[in-house]
Chains A and B, each alone.
Chain A
Amino acid sequence: MQAVQKFMMQRKIKKRKRLNRSLGGDIALFILLAIFGIFSAYPLIMTASNAFKPLDELFVFPPTLLPRNITFNNFRDLSELIGNSWIPFSRYFFNTIFITLTGTAGHVLIASMCAYPLAKYKFPGSKIIFMLVVYSLMFAPQVTATPNYIIVSWIGLIDTPFAIILPAIASSLGLYLMKQFMEQVPTELIESAKIDGASEYRIFFQIVMPLVKPAWLTLIILLFQRLWTTDGGAFIFSEEFKPLSFALRQIAQGSIERAGTVAAVAFIMMIVPVVFFIFSQSKIVETFSTSGLK
């Protein structure tokens, strides 16, 4: 009897913790969440499962959510197609890895170096620089595509990976998020390091950077997915400098028999950023807690 009472008490306490919630409302909202969740996930699940379907199963209706006969033929066809091209596949792969790693690492380092003074100091020009960064968030990079092309060709970077890497490093969203996050670093920490005789550079590399690791991950995922899927556009025209995404798209532009290969390609491009996000999600969300525009 006492146990029951205790249980009821506990339930009451538990119930009281959730303020202002009605059961009906909860149910309605979670049904809504489930419907849209399926809408959101379904195409991605299809993309993944199509990559493992034999060709005949790709076109059955209703489409099978999970492949009935799992096959790796699509990936085998893909590697065969690529093996037959006159540029070795490893070359495309290397190009994409190079662009992605250099660009992402460069962005994290260089944007953080700029974010630190903006977050922690007031100095001539600090306000206007940050204002320009905020304004640059208000227009899409396509606006500056034409002059960018001209500038890149003036500097002589056309047809090198740096035509893609350098503009990406200057991405302003990363700088903005990093600056907002760095504002949380306690000023006393920086002050005491200064009293101990540390230079600004040492403070930045040894105190500030280790403390803002969650923001690194955010900058990495934002830039990574942009560079990972780049196809070189008009900036890179030599076949040997083209990235993976370009090669994969060429393959995809075949007839309907290529549908399986296309699915394999899409799966490869999708899975890397998604897995990265799965492992770094909590840190990334943490970064965004300071993303607000004041």
Chain B
Amino acid sequence: MQATTKSDFKTRSKMLWKEMKESKHLYVLMAPYLILFLTFTIIPVFMSLGISFTQFNMLEAPRFVGFDNYIKLLLDDEVFIIAIRNTLILAVVTGPVSYLLAFVFAWLINELRPKLRAFMTLVFYAPSISGNAFLIWLLIFSGDVHGYANAFLMQFGFINNPILWLRDPDYMLFVIILVQLWLSLGVSFLAFIAGLQGVDKTLYEAGSIDGIRNRWQELWYITIPSMKPQLLFGAVMQITTSLAIAEVSMQLVGFPSVQYEGHTIVTHLIDYGSIRFDLGYASAIATVLFVIMISANLIVQKFLRRMGE
């Protein structure tokens, strides 16, 4: 019995080896990318996990400390709790809203004539590729009377004194959400536009004969099921982005922000990783973030795949 499984294993590994040899040119083609991908993506994930159990500052050798970093992080770091809260608020708002906006605008644009469609695509997509043009929002939400938002609200008598949009904890998250949404029609937006253009036109005619009467029924019964792969891809993009908000917060409300009201998990990570050089602790933060991102993605994928089945 054991002999057969052993020889079975032998022939199988021989076959595998033969297959691998036959595709050696393919491996050669893939090698440069795979080496870089392993070095800068796969290995770092495991390294991060490993380092998170140590105390490490790059100057001295890492010292194993068990779960100390995690215990401190989850039980003893008030700023991290604020960061988690802010990250979740930002993600729960900007994630679904930006996803819906990307889809709705792609859908509306799809009805336009090609030239106008191209123009509107540019209008909605441009913010996400405009580098740090989002800094214009500093001028819009400037806390003095010259800020466009303040000037506008005062002109029409909604407020009497300028609002410190970027310093007042009550408004900081609001501003970050607004700017993040402005930036959010990116890759998934393009995927939705392409997906909508790819829906088989005869399906709409057939649907119309089958009794579909308005655009909403058409959307629900024909369009959405036809572009499910793009919808799944877009979800991954929006979830990952919405959980990694940092740059906008750091640039607009400061780093660290007043009372940490604009602090997120990623800014906390940057604080410990790049400023305090407490790499063990930073890695623990990164690992927690990794788990949150992957599980959020997998849960939403599961949910979306089931939709409409």
A98 at the interface (CB under 8 A from B): no
Task: Check A20/B213 contact, CB under 8 A, given A140-B266, A289-B194.
Answer: yes
User: Is the CB–CB distance between B135 and A266 below 8 Å?
Assistant: yes
With beta carbons under 8 angstroms apart, the residue of B23, B58, B217, B228 that contacts A150 is B58
| Chain A, range 207-221, C-beta contacts under 8 Å to B | 221
User: Is the CB–CB distance between A139 and B136 below 8 Å?
Assistant: no
B294 at the interface (CB under 8 A from A): yes
User: Is the CB–CB distance between B133 and A270 below 8 Å?
Assistant: yes
User: Is the CB–CB distance between B40 and A144 below 8 Å?
Assistant: yes
With beta carbons under 8 angstroms apart, the residue of A26, A61, A146 that contacts B51 is A146
**Nearest CB to that of B288 among chain A residues?**
A143
A77 at the interface (CB under 8 A from B): no
How many residues from A make CB contacts under 8 Å with B? 95
B306 at the interface (CB under 8 A from A): no
B233 at the interface (CB under 8 A from A): yes
A26 to B20, CA, bound (A): 57
A153 to B23, CA, bound (A): 34
A59 to B142, CA, bound (A): 11
Nearest chain B CB to A125's CB is how many angstroms away?
8
Q: Which label, helix, strand, loop or mixed, suits the secondary structure of the A interface?
A: helix
A270 to B27, CA, bound (A): 39
How many residues from B make CB contacts under 8 Å with A? 105
User: Is the CB–CB distance between B130 and A30 below 8 Å?
Assistant: no
CB-CB < 8 A to B260: which residues of A? Answer: none
User: Is the CB–CB distance between B47 and A117 below 8 Å?
Assistant: no
A140 to B132, CA, bound (A): 19
CB-CB < 8 A to A287: which residues of B? Answer: 194
Nearest chain B CB to A218's CB is how many angstroms away?
8
0/1 per residue, B266-287, Cβ < 8 Å to A?
1001100110000100110010
A129 to B31, CA, bound (A): 12
Interface segment among B1-9, B71-79, B236-244: the answer is: B236-244
With beta carbons under 8 angstroms apart, the residue of A175, A221, A281 that contacts B121 is A281
Nearest chain B CB to A160's CB is how many angstroms away?
15
The residue among B129, B182, B213 with the most chain A CB atoms within 10 A of its own CB is B129
0/1 per residue, A144-185, Cβ < 8 Å to B?
111111110100000000000011011011010000000000
User: Is the CB–CB distance between A33 and B43 below 8 Å?
Assistant: no
B160 at the interface (CB under 8 A from A): no
With beta carbons under 8 angstroms apart, the residue of B121, B187, B286, B294 that contacts A135 is B294
Nearest chain B CB to A140's CB is how many angstroms away?
3
| Chain A, range 94-135, C-beta contacts under 8 Å to B | 110-111, 113-114, 116-118, 121, 123-124, 129, 132-133, 135
0/1 per residue, A20-42, Cβ < 8 Å to B?
11100110011011001101110
With beta carbons under 8 angstroms apart, the residue of B33, B133, B232 that contacts A266 is B133
0/1 per residue, B199-213, Cβ < 8 Å to A?
000001100100011
0/1 per residue, A254-287, Cβ < 8 Å to B?
0000010010001001100110011001101111
Nearest chain B CB to A66's CB is how many angstroms away?
15
A136 at the interface (CB under 8 A from B): yes
**Nearest CB to that of B222 among chain A residues?**
A20
With beta carbons under 8 angstroms apart, the residue of B20, B193, B274 that contacts A285 is B193
User: Is the CB–CB distance between A114 and B34 below 8 Å?
Assistant: yes
Interface segment among A2-10, A67-75, A198-206: the answer is: A198-206
A52 at the interface (CB under 8 A from B): no
Nearest chain A CB to B228's CB is how many angstroms away?
7
A129 to B30, CA, bound (A): 10
User: Is the CB–CB distance between B133 and A20 below 8 Å?
Assistant: no
Task: Check A132/B212 contact, CB under 8 A, given A44-B127, A139-B290.
Answer: no
CB-CB < 8 A to B137: which residues of A? Answer: 43
User: Is the CB–CB distance between B39 and A170 below 8 Å?
Assistant: yes
CB-CB < 8 A to B269: which residues of A? Answer: 142, 145-146
**Nearest CB to that of A266 among chain B residues?**
B133
CB-CB < 8 A to A170: which residues of B? Answer: 33, 36-37, 39-41
CB-CB < 8 A to B27: which residues of A? Answer: 117, 123
Nearest chain A CB to B182's CB is how many angstroms away?
7
CB-CB < 8 A to B282: which residues of A? Answer: 146
14 more contacts with CB within 8 A, not counting A44-B136, A116-B29, are: A40-B182, A47-B130, A47-B133, A62-B155, A113-B29, A133-B37, A137-B240, A142-B269, A170-B36, A175-B33, A234-B274, A273-B129, A278-B122, A293-B233
Q: Which 7 residue pairs spanning A and B have beta carbons closest together?
A: A292-B229, A140-B244, A114-B33, A147-B44, A144-B44, A269-B131, A288-B194
Q: What are 13 residue pairs bridging A and B, where the CB atoms are less than 8 Å apart in the complex?
A: A20-B213, A21-B215, A44-B130, A62-B155, A123-B22, A136-B41, A137-B240, A138-B236, A142-B244, A200-B29, A277-B129, A288-B230, A293-B233
Q: Please report B residues at the A interface, Cβ cutoff 8 Å.
A: 16, 19-20, 22-23, 25-27, 29-30, 32-34, 36-37, 39-45, 47-48, 51, 58, 101, 105, 108-109, 111, 118, 120-127, 129-137, 139-140, 146, 148, 151-152, 155, 182, 185, 187, 190-191, 193-195, 197-198, 204-205, 208, 212-215, 217-218, 227-230, 232-233, 236-237, 239-241, 243-244, 246, 266, 269-270, 273-274, 279, 282-283, 286, 289-290, 293-294, 297-298, 301
Q: Please report A residues at the B interface, Cβ cutoff 8 Å.
A: 19-22, 25-26, 29-30, 32-33, 36-37, 39-41, 43-44, 46-47, 50, 59, 61-63, 110-111, 113-114, 116-118, 121, 123-124, 129, 132-133, 135-140, 142-151, 153, 166-167, 169-170, 172-173, 175, 199-201, 204, 221-222, 225, 228-229, 233-234, 245, 252, 259, 262, 266, 269-270, 273-274, 277-278, 281-282, 284-289, 291-294
